[in-house]
Amino acid sequence: MTNTDTINNLLAFLQASTTPFHAVANMRQQLLTAGYRALDPAQDWDLRAGHRYFVERNGSSIVAFKMPQDPGDHRLHMIGAHTDSPCLRVKPNPEISQQSYQQLGVEVYGGALLHPWFDRDLSLAGRVVGRRAGGQLDTALVDLQRAIACIPSLAIHLNREANKNSTINAQTDLPVLLGQQLGDDYNLRHMLLAYLTEQGHDFTQLLDYELSFYDIQAPALVGWQEEFIASARLDNLLSCYVGLQALLQAETDQGILLVCNDHEEVGSQTAEGAQGGFLLSVLQRLYPTPEKMHQVLHQSVLVSADNAHAVHPNYASKHDAQHGPQLNAGPVIKINANQRYATNAITSALMHELAQQQELPIQSFVVRSDMGCGSTIGPITAAQLGIKTVDLGMPTLAMHSIRELAGSQDVAVTIALLQAFYETQIKV
């Protein structure tokens, strides 16, 4: 696949993956096309050497893996990422009518950068649960794919300090403007039920939903020479995409695995999050005896793939002068003395060695000593499994904004590095 194909496929994946549910559905389809077989957690698994499988939890997390060709191979190379991104989630009873306008109340999911959400064309996507015509409860994915709402800014004439000191109250400033002619008794569930009926679903009642707003502006290549990728949800669908492509392209007889968890942006402590035991439950079925499990984990390595903070040209002072990752200069090894990242000298050296072997650029990031550090699923998974881990990600600007920026040349480089990780025979 050419770099152009890789980028075009990435842009299509980002556009279609408007929520974690849609991201997993799109990954599922790519895995099925590549010959991976879906496993049912409620059934016995007949796992065979060299065969490829995947399993989902909650429709928002997924683990895909290829069994080693040699059943005695006590090693597994794993890549972990997360499917969720900061956004605005619709409340259970969201309907608000005031000043002749109809609005929807929202909650802020994760550490969203809120100012960029104003004055954007917003659509709605997620999962709904309803009762089918036959009486059974069922779920469906929803993506309206058109601008149905916005959050207008207050005119500067009414807030002269807007460019100096503008704070946002998540309760009062973020209700989303939906319409003006819906009537004071409008009901989101009824509107969604009508939409689902138009789409051919036989729901008779909509019982609940998990819905998020998103910006309908499509992902794009920007820059004079298309150096940059501009899109929503780069953190962390970018890592999901490069991890999946590395998995599909890897040519190896050893065991390899990709896990993409939900809920990293809110702490991971859920059934489908990195603290929820999803990965551990899969590994216990791959290696059913404690002895075998311990042998495998002792020799295995995990790459925790999550975006890294690129140095901003207008705010270079926010970075350590020796650790300011650049866009299009390769993926970034993330290091923190207080173990907010799980990288150590051994796992970092492995990445450097693979990059050198493949003649790929690679960078390092350490947060300024007087600033706090973000977190990833790396330390969580490392602590839970006792596995050697390295935190690595593509450098990104405007992280947690409604539209983020990454380097277009970094995509192929990161896929190549992660593919080399899957295929390497180096033991650490």
Kindly report, residue by residue over 321-356, the tens digit of the pLDDT.
999 999 999 999 999 999 999 999 999 999 999 999
Is the pLDDT at 223 greater than 90? The verdict is yes
DSSP SS3 for 217:
coil
> Where does residue 155 rank: exposed (0-12), middle (13-18), buried (19+ CB within 10 A)?
exposed
Give the span between the Cα atoms of 126 and 58, in whole angstroms: 13
Per-residue pLDDT, 68: 95
- For the chain, the average pLDDT equals 95
Mean pLDDT for the stretch of residues 254-282 = 95
- Region 366-373 average pLDDT: 90
From 413, 427, 363, select the one nearest 392 (Cα to Cα): 363
pLDDT at 184: 77
Q: DSSP label at 426?
A: -
Q: Residue ranges of the alpha helices (H) in 311-376?
A: 345-358
Q: The domain 3-85+232-423: what is its CATH number?
A: 3.40.630.10
Burial class, 213, CB count within 10 angstroms (exposed 0-12 / middle 13-18 / buried 19+): buried
- Give the model's confidence band at 427: pLDDT under 50 very low, under 70 low, under 90 confident, else very high: confident
Per-residue confidence (pLDDT) for residue 17, from 0 to 100: 98
For the chain, the domains span 3-85+232-423, 87-215
User: Omega into 236 within 30° of 0, i.e. cis?
Assistant: yes
Measuring CA to CA, which residue among 221, 237, 238, 240 is closest to residue 229?
Answer: 221
Instruction: Say which amino acid occupies 247.
Output: L
119-145 residue pLDDT tens: 999 999 999 999 998 899 999 999 999
391 strand-pairing partners: 304, 334
Q: What is the pLDDT at residue 230?
A: 98
Phi-psi map region of 284: left, alpha, beta (phi>0 left; psi -120 to 50 alpha): alpha
Q: How many CB atoms are closer than 10 A to CB 372?
A: 9
Interval 55-69 mean pLDDT: 97
Question: Measured between alpha carbons, how far apart are the two ends of the chain, in Å?
Answer: 31
**CA 102 → CA 41, 153, 170, 180, 207, distances in Å?**
43, 16, 18, 6, 21
The answer to whether 187 and 95 are in contact (CB under 8 A) is: yes
* Residue 235, both tokens: 């953190």
pLDDT at 366 over 80: yes
Confidence of residue 1 (pLDDT cuts 50, 70, 90): low
Q: Express each pLDDT in 76-120 by its tens digit.
A: 999 999 999 999 999 999 999 999 999 999 999 999 999 999 999
- What is the predicted pLDDT for the residue at 373? 86
Separation between Cα atoms, residue 113 and residue 399, nearest integer Å: 8
Q: What is the pLDDT of residue 309?
A: 96
What number is the average pLDDT over the span 418-424? 97
Interval 153-207: pLDDT, tens: 999 999 988 898 889 999 999 999 999 988 878 899 999 999 999 999 999 999 9
Q: Say what percent of the chain tops pLDDT 70.
A: 100
Domains 3-85+232-423 and 87-215 share a fold: no
pLDDT of residue 193: 94
Amino acid at residue number 238: L
Q: What is the pLDDT of residues 270-302, one digit of tens each?
A: 999 999 999 999 999 999 899 999 999 999 999
Range 251-262 average pLDDT: 97
Place of tokens 């899109």: 231
Name the CATH superfamily for 87-215. Aminopeptidase i, Domain 2 (2.30.250.10)
